[in-house]
Structure 1
Amino acid sequence: MSNTLKDLTAGTAGGIAQVLVGQPFDICKVRMQTAPAGTYSGLAQCAGDILKNEGPLAFYKGTLSPLVGIGACVSIQFGVLEWTKRFFGQRNLASGSGGRGGALTPSQLLIAGAAAGIANSVVSGPVEHIRIRLQTQSDKNRIYAGPGDAVKKIVGAHGLAGLYKGQVATLWREGTGYAVYFLTYEKLIEREMRVNNIKREEVSSVKAVLFGATAGYALWAIIYPIDVIKSRIQTDGFAGPERKYGSTLDCLRKVWRAEGANGFLRGLGPTLIRSPFANGATFLGFELASRALYGR
């Protein structure tokens, strides 16, 4: 296998782990972000209502789409990240710049992370749009029978552009968020290797989970308000009187006027609870799969 194919495969393992661990928290986050203000007093009420009204399997509503899609997304993230890291590392070695052994500078890691996020957004935009549509529909008012049906109906009625609804917000979220996300994780890994004089594959699984959890919190600290805007747009109507927001900026203005700063923090509770588990699982899955594939 080529290095790129190994990175893509390891990324897929990380993505699947992320979805399986994080999906129940994610559906609560989306419901709290998009429901009318005052619908839920907090995570406990939201989760309780879902369990009472829709049953335990509702926490995995819309999972097929992210299981396939997020697996592909995380695969792309790590594939682009590792390729860009190798590119900068080889250039640093050739020019004698960067850190010891051609190690990447913080700015290079930010660029690599941003590139990973932007490349990922091509897939993550429509995948998350479909997931959010499925997560927010009730059993009594089902519009879409599943991911395939949702894609068919949205594309049939609104074209490919309908599938990419909210893509501007998605690009902002992915580009800025993953720049910080991967910078945080890589710097923690570098520090662990330097302090203990070990190789990357010798970093313990527990540390990989902890560093992934920390990177996840750094990610959400940067992108959460953007994520709220994205969710609002992706659950908005497509046209006519059902459409509330004319653009990303229009959505931002209307949320601010109606709810103030608190409007950009709705659903933060389940996100903060979910983040360490989902992101820790993502990096652990990637690191373990990489070690197996590279024979480290």
Structure 2
Amino acid sequence: MVFAYNIDKKTIPNFMKYVLGGTAGMMATVIVQPLDLVKTRMQIAAGAAGAKEYSSSFDCIRKVLQAEGVLAFYNGLSAGLLRQATYTTARMGVYQMEVEAYRNKYNESPRVLGSMIMGIIAGACGALVGNPSEVALIRMMADNRLPESQRRNYKNAADAMVRIVREEGLFTLWRGCLPTAGRAMVTNMAQLASYSQFKGAFRQYIDEGLLLHICASVCSGLLTTVASMPLDMAKTRIQQMKVIDGKPEYSGAIDVILKVTRNEGFFSLWKGFTPYLARIAPHTVFAFVFLEQLNNAYYKYILGEENRGSGL
């Protein structure tokens, strides 16, 4: 679906696209952080020999509450916010710049294939920038489930990254970068490209507003979840793994997928699907709504004109 655009001279500066995109992502993360923790705990939980640590997402929530308390759901929040300040800032900024460049050149919104390619590029850029905070986030959220003797006990995201560099080397911050980039490319291709298409399809039945954003983002979130979860599982396992006697537990993303399929079953690649979906859909809704409102405020109070849209 293609929409024509009248381009005027007043636009949001490129650096502000990054700032607003990252801010919207951070605001959404504060809301969905508990669901991200549940998803991560389920993905790293052992499932071999029929001894599952968690029987379901609700069982995971119950056990975390009983053993660690309510505040445990916000373990790793500093790393989660740092991830949004890096990963989401990069991907949203790059994508908005790509879309605006396309509209300036062709005076219309990108077609589906163009949006998919733009999403892939934005996802790869975001993954490269955000991987260090991703490693810190995964480790901090998983720490409390380890025996006390094996816990890393990072104080915050900055402490985690400093200690990782000091104890394991600089490039450990980019451990799992390939599956992270693969997941980010798939996620952004599906999420960013499909969101505007779903909005366009639903707009003939639903007026512009929150309900339209929710419907479009839930559909986009479901598609994104199914496509990206195996790579997300591989990324999580690689970033959490320990190196014992100089030998890492996994050699790469394919090795993770093969071992999980062989030892835990094919559908274990989608372990944590419910909290992942429950995280993706609200995060998409909140991030897009916040971004549209932030853009709206910038156009109104800084540029002195009505908003032309979020750029997504």
TM-score w.r.t. length of structure 2: 0.84
Q: Alignment RMSD, CA only?
A: 2.1
8 Å Cα contact 1:236/1:242 also seen in 2: no
- Is 1:45 the counterpart of 2:59? The answer is yes
Query: For residue 34 of structure 1, what is the aligned residue in structure 2?
Result: 44
Q: Distance in 2 between matches of 1:209 and 1:26?
A: 19
Per-residue displacement from partner, 1:107-164 (whole Å, max 9, x unpaired)? 1101111111111102322211111101111283431232222211211122221011
Query: For residue 294 of structure 1, what is the aligned residue in structure 2?
Result: 299
Query: For residue 122 of structure 1, what is the aligned residue in structure 2?
Result: 128
Distance 1:175 1:204, change over 3 A: same
Query: For residue 77 of structure 2, what is the aligned residue in structure 1?
Result: 63
TM-score w.r.t. length of structure 1: 0.88
Distance 1:72 1:210, change over 3 A: farther
Distance 1:92 1:250, change over 3 A: same
8 Å Cα contact 1:28/1:267 also seen in 2: yes
Counterpart AA for 1:89: R
Distance 1:77 1:253, change over 3 A: same
8 Å Cα contact 1:17/1:278 also seen in 2: no
Residue 239 of structure 1: how far off its partner (Å): 5.0
Choose 35-44 or 120-129, whichever is displaced more: 120-129
Query: For residue 35 of structure 2, what is the aligned residue in structure 1?
Result: 25
Q: Percent identity?
A: 24
Q: Distance in 1 between matches of 2:24 and 2:262?
A: 39
8 Å Cα contact 2:231/2:253 also seen in 1: no
Per-residue displacement from partner, 1:254-275 (whole Å, max 9, x unpaired)? 1121122122021112112233
Picking from 62, 78, 87, the partner of 2:92 is 78
Point out 4+ residue stretches in structure 1 off by more than 4 angstroms.
none
Distance 1:239 1:165, change over 3 A: farther
Higher helix share: 1
Q: How many residues align?
A: 283
Choose 145-154 or 233-242, whichever is displaced more: 233-242
Q: Distance in 2 between matches of 1:285 and 1:133?
A: 28
Per-residue displacement from partner, 1:262-290 (whole Å, max 9, x unpaired)? 22021112112233222211111111111
Choose 138-147 or 102-111, whichever is displaced more: 138-147
- Is 1:108 the counterpart of 2:118? The answer is no
Distance 1:209 1:292, change over 3 A: farther
Query: For residue 104 of structure 2, what is the aligned residue in structure 1?
Result: 90
Counterpart AA for 2:25: G
Residue 74 of structure 1: how far off its partner (Å): 1.7
Give the unaligned 5+ runs of structure 2: 1-10, 301-306, 308-312
Picking from 258, 262, 279, the partner of 2:263 is 258
Using CA pairs under 8 Å that are at least 6 residues apart, name the structure with larger relative contact order, 1 or 2.
Answer: 1
Q: Secondary structure at the match of 1:138?
A: helix
Q: Distance in 2 between matches of 1:33 and 1:242?
A: 22
